[in-house]
């Protein structure tokens, strides 16, 4: 209820400021690899653009006789291109949701021998007028933006709140019809091929859905996400696996990189996930002394562990993860690729489940088509 109040209050403020209000409740569904693999989509996109406009791979610039081609831009702009593709998908997804709602309404209207307008009028008639207490609550939430006394603005607030409730009721009705209708959605989010280290995989290695997680051991959101990943692997037993990749945010988490290197050293002794869990269990103990103590507690060979820490091996591996993540479009932590579909930030478990369920359904459909 509090979330709805805040969303509607924000929408009301926008309505009064610009005389425009979006529909309430709509939202967007939102391992050491060679670096060229993680930017393949962007490179293909760029080369396609070059061929379509010129027909040949012509240079876009020449510096002291040395040509620069569009394919040379891939590393520099891959992340931005992938973000644009993600935005394009979100726009298409929103538009598709609206079209699907319209189609199910038209189907229901034909069944009942009436029109879509009549159906919506029926829905509208069941929406009550906002009570005084409700109007006052919304007013308190936006009064600093409206800057007018309640009595003066009350009729406009009442009309605006009623409009929002009607819009929400119409959407809820259409969504209820959608749940009863057989619908196949073929629109898929953009994919990015991101490889991973098979020795740092949680769950069945043969699981059809792979979540590649770019994470930071000092990031509190990553701790929450790590818990979510374990729950997903348990819920989708044998169907989902999680691959861990490092993405220490050095500027804001100064101890994250050393923790990542230590976790890799623990992995060399077969204890990566145990070390991973210990680090997230107490993010205040990521200093060198604490990392060594954690290794001892887990029964790691101290000489091997210290030798690993002092070598450049783990540092180079962490750096490669950061490089691959950046080229794949990761700009913060946590960041995920679910069978190549990007999910940014720590999301509720239900958001991951939506994507996983869609992936499993698509896999099932492809297998059925081959029979």
Q: Same structural domain for residues 131 and 273?
A: no
Region 184-197: mean pLDDT is 87
Question: Is residue 223 domain-resident?
Answer: yes
| Least trusted range by pLDDT, from 116-120, 124-128, 190-194 | 190-194
Split at pLDDT 50, 70, 90, the class of 261 is very high
Distance CA 297, CA 295 (A): 5
* pLDDT for the residue numbered 20: 30
Q: What percent of the chain is predicted at pLDDT more than 70?
A: 84
Distance CA 17, CA 156 (A): 13
Question: Is residue 359 domain-resident?
Answer: yes
**Domains of the chain: total:** 2
Question: Is residue 286 domain-resident?
Answer: yes
Q: Same structural domain for residues 183 and 203?
A: no
Distance CA 66, CA 56 (A): 18
DSSP state for residue 191 in the 8-state scheme: B
Digit-coded pLDDT (tens) for 83-114:
898 899 999 999 999 999 999 999 999 999 99
Split at pLDDT 50, 70, 90, the class of 42 is very low
Residue that finishes a domain, picked among 134, 163, 189: 189
Two structure tokens written together for 365: 């459909």
Pick from 98, 86, 93, 82: nearest CA to 187: 93
- Domain with residue 318: its CATH number is 3.40.30.10
Q: Same structural domain for residues 77 and 173?
A: yes
Ramachandran assignment for 193, one of left (phi > 0), alpha (psi -120 to 50 degrees), beta (any other) = beta
* pLDDT for the residue numbered 56: 60
pLDDT of 123 strictly over 90: yes
Q: Which is more confident, 101 or 53? A: 101
CB 238 within 8 Å of CB 349:
no
pLDDT of 189 strictly over 60: yes
pLDDT of 168 strictly over 70: yes
Cα–Cα separations (whole angstroms), residue 242 to 201, 238, 342: 6, 11, 14
Q: Which is more confident, 197 or 43? A: 197
Question: Is residue 216 domain-resident?
Answer: yes
Q: Which is more confident, 317 or 54? A: 317
Q: Same structural domain for residues 174 and 314?
A: no
First to last CA, the chain: 48
* pLDDT for the residue numbered 86: 84
Digit-coded pLDDT (tens) for 21-39:
333 333 333 333 333 333 4
Q: What range defines the domain where residue 358 resides?
A: 198-369
Residue that finishes a domain, picked among 127, 160, 189: 189
Distance CA 291, CA 288 (A): 5
Digit-coded pLDDT (tens) for 145-162:
888 899 999 999 999 999
Question: Is residue 21 domain-resident?
Answer: no
Distance CA 97, CA 92 (A): 9
Region 278-305: mean pLDDT is 96
Q: Same structural domain for residues 258 and 317?
A: yes
Question: Is residue 51 domain-resident?
Answer: no
Distance CA 365, CA 261 (A): 41
Residue that finishes a domain, picked among 156, 189, 222: 189
Q: Same structural domain for residues 74 and 173?
A: yes
Split at pLDDT 50, 70, 90, the class of 138 is confident
């Amino acid at each position: 209820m509090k979330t709805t109040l805040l969303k509607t209050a924000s929408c009301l403020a926008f309505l009064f400021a610009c005389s425009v209000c979006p529909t309430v409740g709509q939202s967007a569904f939102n391992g050491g690899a060679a670096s060229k693999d993680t930017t393949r989509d962007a490179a293909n996109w760029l080369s396609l653009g070059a061929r379509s406009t010129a027909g040949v791979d012509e240079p876009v610039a020449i510096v002291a006789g040395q040509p620069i081609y569009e394919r040379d831009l891939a590393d520099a702009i891959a992340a931005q291109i992938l973000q644009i593709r993600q935005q394009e998908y979100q726009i298409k997804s929103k538009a598709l949701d609206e079209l699907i709602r319209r189609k199910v309404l038209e189907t229901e209207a034909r069944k009942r021998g009436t029109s879509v307008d009549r159906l919506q009028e029926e829905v509208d008639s069941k929406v009550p007028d906002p009570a005084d207490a409700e109007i006052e609550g919304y007013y308190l939430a936006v009064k600093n933006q409206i800057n007018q006394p309640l009595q003066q603005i009350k009729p406009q607030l009442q009309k605006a709140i009623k409009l929002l409730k009607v819009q929400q009721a119409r959407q809820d009705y259409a969504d209820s019809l959608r749940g009863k209708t057989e619908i196949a959605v073929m629109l898929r989010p953009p994919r990015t091929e991101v490889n991973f280290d098979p020795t740092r995989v949680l769950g069945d290695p043969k699981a059809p859905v792979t979540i590649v997680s770019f994470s930071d051991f000092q990031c509190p959101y990553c701790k929450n996400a790590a818990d979510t990943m374990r729950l997903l692997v348990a819920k989708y037993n044998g169907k989902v696996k999680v691959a861990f990749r490092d993405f220490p945010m050095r500027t804001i988490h100064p101890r994250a990189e050393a923790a990542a290197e230590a976790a890799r050293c623990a992995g060399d002794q077969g204890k990566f996930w145990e070390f991973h869990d210990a680090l997230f269990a107490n993010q205040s103990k990521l200093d060198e002394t604490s990392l060594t103590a954690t290794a001892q507690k887990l029964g790691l060979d101290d000489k091997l562990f210290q030798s690993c820490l002092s070598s450049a091996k783990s540092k180079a591996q962490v750096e490669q993860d950061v490089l691959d993540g950046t080229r794949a479009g990761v700009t913060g932590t946590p960041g995920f690729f679910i069978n190549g579909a990007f999910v940014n930030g720590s999301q509720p478990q239900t958001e991951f489940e939506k994507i996983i369920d869609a992936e499993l359904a698509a896999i099932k459909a492809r297998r059925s088509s081959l029979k």
